[in-house]
Amino acid sequence: MNTVTTASMPEVRVLDRAPQTRVASIDLIRGAVMILMAIDHVRVFSGVPAGGPAPGVFFTRWVTHFCAPAFIFLAGTSAFLYARRHSDLSRFLLTRGLWLVLLEFTVLRLAWTFNFDFRHYAMAGVIWVIGASMIVMAGAVKLPINVLATLGLLIVCGHNLLDSRLQSMAEHVNEHSLSGLWKLLYIGFYAGPISIGELNLFVLYSLIPWVGVMAAGYAFGRVFTLAEARRRRLCVIIGLSAIALFLVLRGFNLYGDPFHWHSSPRFPAILAFLNTTKYPASLCFLLMTLGPMIALVPLLERSTGAAARVISVFGRVPFFYYVLHIPLVHALALVVSKIRLGYVNAWLFTNHPMGNPRPPAGYTWTLWQLYLVWAVAIVILYFPCRWFAELKARRKDWWLSYL
């Protein structure tokens, strides 16, 4: 699904030793998850269902789970590093946040649907929640960083205390006058859309816990100001500790996900174990995805060579990539439909992925077709992304920071 980006991200640099040197590991992480993210968005237009139970279909979706946590966490990290060079962090976060929310419901809504009828359907996806979290962070960064880190971790770790009431809340939330606000804050699309006249707004990414993820990422930015040896050691400790906590909490069904896992003939044990809750993102989901990412930072800092340079190109211009890739994969889906079926299926112009997610009979692609289209899209995207990355490196026009 709509899985996400560190939109309008500031330049990320290490400031204690080399002010003009980019943090290679951040560019590599962002670039890698950008590439993975496109798999899931091609999947949306392919009609392939999300989650299995076939292992190939399950892992096609599962590998993309790392994208949203990485982008939102690193958005916070980048904000911290931006503040070390600029005095206008709150203004930066507020204006970028409002810009992203606007784009989510206009340009990106059109790119997802190719449907100009804006009256009936909108989706609050990952760009919305990045923007909304930035707006909240514009005020929150005034707090001492230890306080902000504590609040962020409390949100991430504590929101699953509501698990026992989640189903009840979903059933009864529409009875309250502030149901729309509650859906934006936490419960999301499980309670149905927010109805505003004829418009149905589906909240895929609720503010909680993602604003907590961004706050935790902001505090994590301090790690990048430390000496190299200490920075790498801390990343390994934090990352492996998160993985270990995930294994214990999830393995024994202790806490951190509203749905306990168990093996069944339809869903093998390993798939059930990894099938954590993304909407709203559970603690287990976030530990499972953020732990490996943080642990890999020291390894990625040493990555060189052609592959690392290519991947980093996407990581240097994440929002530019995001805005381009959705209409591109949508357009490629039109071409595939024409080739496979002899006509462009009307489903590709409907209000999916939330409004009409089920494709018509005979439309669904095979996995090899999905991955072929994904590979074609990545090759096409590389060239405009490389051009824009080089442009941003040469020029400092104010409007470039909005892309």
* pLDDT score for 53: 78
* pLDDT score for 187: 79
**pTM given for the model:** 0.91
* pLDDT score for 4: 42
* pLDDT score for 353: 64
Kindly state the tokens that stand for 110: 């059109």
Tens-level pLDDT at each residue, the chain (403 residues): 444 444 444 444 333 433 344 678 899 999 999 999 999 999 999 999 988 779 999 999 999 999 999 999 999 999 999 999 889 999 999 999 999 999 999 999 999 999 888 777 789 999 999 999 999 999 999 999 999 999 999 999 999 998 776 666 666 666 666 778 888 998 777 777 888 888 888 899 999 999 999 999 999 999 999 999 999 999 999 999 999 999 999 999 999 999 999 988 888 999 999 999 999 999 999 999 999 999 999 998 888 889 999 999 999 999 999 999 999 999 999 999 999 999 999 999 987 766 677 899 999 999 999 999 999 999 999 999 999 999 998 988 878 877 8
Ramachandran area for residue 361 (φ above 0: left; ψ -120 to 50: alpha; else beta): beta
* pLDDT score for 122: 87
Residue 246 and residue 65 in contact, taking contact as beta carbons nearer than 8 Å: no
* pLDDT score for 110: 93
* pLDDT score for 163: 79
- 3-state SS string for the chain: CCCCCCCCCCCCECCCCCCCCECHHHHHHHHHHHHHHHHHHHHHHHCCCCCCCCHHHHHHHHHHHHHHHHHHHHHHHHHHHHHCCCCCHHHHHHHHHHHHHHHHCCHHHHHHHCCCCCCCEEEECHHHHHHHHHHHHHHHCCCCHHHHHHHHHHHHHHHHHHHHHHHHHHHHHHHCCCHHHHHHHHHHHHHCCEEECCEEEEECCCHHHHHHHHHHHHHHHHHHHCCHHHHHHHHHHHHHHHHHHHHHHHHCCCCCCCCCCCCCCCCCHHHHHHCCCCCCCCHHHHHHHHHHHHHHHHHHHCCCCHHHHHHHHHHHCHHHHHHHHHHHHHHHHHHHHHHHHCCCCHHHHCCCCCCCCCCCCCCCCCHHHHHHHHHHHHHHHHHHHHHHHHHHHHCCCHHHHHC
Query: Other C-beta atoms within 10 Å of 290: how many?
Result: 25
d(CA 106, CA 334): 21
